[in-house]
Amino acid sequence: MPDSITRCVGAVIHDQAGRLLVVQRGQAPGRGLWSIPGGRAEPGETDIEALTREVAEETGLRIRVGELAGRVQRAGPGGLTYDIADYRCEPLDPDDRAVVAGDDAEDVRWVDLREYTTLSLVEGLTETLAQWGALPMA
């Protein structure tokens, strides 16, 4: 059976202090690991619609979707491949730092570089964010 491609989106969101918004995954794959908010796009959704929905469901944050930061592909279960388009985003209200874990997130928080380096992260996240110049600030 050929591999199946699943279209996904991710949000690279920094606050005014340069902290990065991360979520602790509540579902497989990667349950318990930290990543950026995002998930699968529903059939018929644009990337912007999917990203706006996913971020709101996982964090309660309303965002403005900006430019494409980059794309990655990650292996999933049963030969599935996640094709992930990651976008730079910003909160609609820059003063809104209150985030609440919802949907399939166990936890959500803004992290600076020091805290980021202490988290158990999904594979490849740090290298990808570094390549895009999107790691949190110190």
85 belongs to a structural domain: yes
Mean pLDDT of 42-56: 96
136 belongs to a structural domain: no
Q: What is the CATH number of the domain that holds 26?
A: 3.90.79.10
Q: Which of 73-77, 81-85, 112-116 is predicted least confidently?
A: 73-77
Distance in angstroms between the alpha carbons of the first and the last residue of the chain: 46
- Helix H or strand E encompassing 94: none
Query: Over 60: is that where the pLDDT of 1 sits?
Result: no
8: containing domain: 4-131
pLDDT of residue 10: 97
Categorize the per-residue pLDDT at 95 as very low, low, confident or very high, splitting at 50, 70 and 90. Answer: low
Please give the mean pLDDT across all residues of the chain.
91
Higher-confidence residue of 112 and 104: namely 112
Mean pLDDT of 31-54: 95
Query: Over 80: is that where the pLDDT of 137 sits?
Result: yes
Give this prediction's pTM. Answer: 0.91
29 belongs to a structural domain: yes
Q: Which residue from 48, 25, 19, 49 is spatially nearest to 37, judged by alpha carbons?
A: 25
Count of domains forming the chain: 1
Mean pLDDT of 85-102: 84
